[in-house]
């Protein structure tokens, strides 16, 4: 039998295990023009929380009693589709199933020798590309500028900080544990790290860490942390916004100081984005990230959880910040 995870009910506030349902179905049959895929790695990502609500967003909401989906690395275990052969590795936005068939649409073959397979869900996948395009297409870092990154130990933030370093910036990371702050400096080469959970006056702490002010704020979290960073933003500052995990689970309106007058006073650019806005440039982005990775200029961290049954819990743990770098589930 084939294990499947269905969307059981829409979470109110923080997701719980009740929102997911495990079922078993018959092993799928492969027709002509199809491949059978065996799931190897499943990506869990904060943005999936958005698909669990009914609200209009950049991708349609998940449907109840249907399988959940995310980025997956799979192996071709049977092929009746030209261009795919047994043992090929592919990525795609796939169902949370142990096995599934596909007509090949949306699948990309990946090279298991060039990098570890799970890297294609992280540094060579959506999260690495999110960091890359947020910086290169929106923030345009100049050597010597000061860059602050929230969610800095996460899958996007840790790569964004390293790219900013490669481009000659001073980089300050914000994260929520001493272990993460240590990782930022020891593994990812950040200049400074601030533990927002242990810092009473974040505005002041950022001012101290960024004596020349903040030129770029790569924002993964939103909320009060962002208020404190924006209070230190420089003239012509740039703020790529790629997530706001701090309020994905909010059930009430998230109130804070209105930021418009800060943006006017300092001629600040703020740009919300999702990585697929830059899909025509994915190939270039992946080539650059692969090159840096091979040159040893980029490090990446993964939190790998074992077992298909652990996918929902791994997802829930994202909102507790239990991951260092990319959270993936190995099947």
Of 2 and 260, which CB lies nearer to its own copies in the complex structure? 260
Cβ distance 104 to 237 under 8 Å? Answer: no
Site for its own copies contains 242 (CB under 8 A): yes
Q: Which residue has the tokens 């990309």?
A: 108
DSSP 144: T
Candidate ranges 125-133, 156-164, 200-208, 258-266; the one touching its own copies (CB under 8 A): 258-266
Using CB under 8 A, which of 264, 283, 295, 296 touches its own copies?
264
Q: Round to whole Å and give the CA distance between 102 and 94.
A: 9
> Which tokens in the block code for residue 3?
């294990």
CA trace torsion 112, 312, 175, 278 (10° rounding): 50
Q: Round to whole Å and give the CA distance between 242 and 273.
A: 6
Using CB under 8 A, which of 249, 271, 303, 310 touches its own copies?
271
Using CB under 8 A, which of 2, 16, 27, 57 touches its own copies?
57
Q: Give me the least distance between CB of 111 and its own copies, in Å please.
A: 31
Of 177 and 266, which CB lies nearer to its own copies in the complex structure? 266
Q: How many Cα atoms occupy the beta-carbon half-sphere of 286 within 13 Å?
A: 19
Site for its own copies contains 254 (CB under 8 A): yes
Using CB under 8 A, which of 103, 256, 294, 307 touches its own copies?
256
Q: Round to whole Å and give the CA distance between 97 and 6.
A: 9
Candidate ranges 36-44, 98-106, 257-265, 294-302; the one touching its own copies (CB under 8 A): 257-265
Using CB under 8 A, which of 28, 50, 61, 112 touches its own copies?
50
The H or E element containing residue 146 is: strand 146-149
Cβ distance 301 to 127 under 8 Å? Answer: no
173 φ/ψ angles, rounded to the nearest 5 degrees: -105, 140
Using CB under 8 A, which of 65, 93, 108, 260 touches its own copies?
260
Candidate ranges 74-82, 109-117, 265-273, 314-322; the one touching its own copies (CB under 8 A): 265-273
Site for its own copies contains 274 (CB under 8 A): yes
Using CB under 8 A, which of 42, 156, 229, 270 touches its own copies?
270
Helical pair 155-166 and 178-186, crossing angle rounded to 10 deg: 30
Q: Give me the least distance between CB of 265 and its own copies, in Å please.
A: 5
Q: Round to whole Å and give the CA distance between 271 and 233.
A: 15
Dihedral over Cα of 238, 195, 193, 132: its sign: negative
Candidate ranges 81-89, 196-204, 221-229, 317-325; the one touching its own copies (CB under 8 A): 221-229
Site for its own copies contains 52 (CB under 8 A): no
Using CB under 8 A, which of 131, 219, 285, 328 touches its own copies?
219
* Residues forming the site for its own copies (CB under 8 A): 50, 56-58, 219, 222-223, 226, 235, 241-244, 247-248, 253-274, 277
């Amino acid at each position: 039998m084939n294990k499947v995870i269905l969307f059981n009910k829409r979470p109110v506030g923080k997701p719980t295990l009740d929102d997911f349902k495990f079922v078993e179905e018959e092993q799928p049959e492969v027709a002509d023009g199809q491949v059978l895929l065996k799931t190897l790695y499943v990506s869990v990502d904060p943005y999936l929380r958005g698909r669990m609500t009914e609200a209009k967003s950049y991708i349609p909401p998940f449907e109840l009693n249907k399988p959940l989906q995310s980025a997956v690395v799979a192996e071709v275990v049977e092929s009746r589709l030209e261009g795919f052969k047994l043992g090929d590795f592919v990525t795609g936005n796939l169902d949370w199933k142990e096995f599934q068939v596909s007509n090949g649409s949306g699948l990309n073959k990946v090279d298991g020798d060039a990098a570890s397979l799970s890297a294609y869900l992280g540094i060579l996948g959506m999260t690495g590309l999110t960091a890359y395009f947020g910086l290169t297409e929106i923030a345009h870092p100049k050597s010597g500028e000061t860059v602050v990154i929230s969610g800095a130990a996460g899958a996007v933030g840790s790569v964004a900080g390293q790219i900013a370093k490669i481009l000659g910036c001073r980089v300050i990371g914000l994260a929520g544990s001493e272990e993460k702050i240590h990782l930022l400096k020891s593994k990812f080469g950040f200049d400074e790290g601030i533990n927002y959970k242990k810092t009473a006056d974040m505005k002041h702490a950022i001012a101290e860490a960024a004596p020349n002010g903040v030129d770029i704020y790569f924002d993964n979290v939103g909320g009060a942390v962002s208020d404190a960073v924006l209070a230190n933003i420089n003239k012509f500052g740039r703020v790529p916004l790629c997530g706001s995990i701090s309020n994905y689970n909010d059930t009430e309106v998230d109130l804070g100081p209105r930021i418009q007058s800060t943006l006017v006073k300092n001629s600040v650019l703020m740009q919300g984005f999702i990585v697929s806005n830059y899909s025509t440039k994915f190939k270039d982005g992946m080539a650059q990230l692969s090159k840096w990775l091979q040159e040893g200029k980029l490090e990446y961290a993964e939190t790998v959880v074992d077992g298909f049954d652990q996918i929902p819990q791994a997802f829930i743990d994202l909102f507790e910040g239990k991951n260092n770098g990319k959270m993936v589930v190995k099947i």
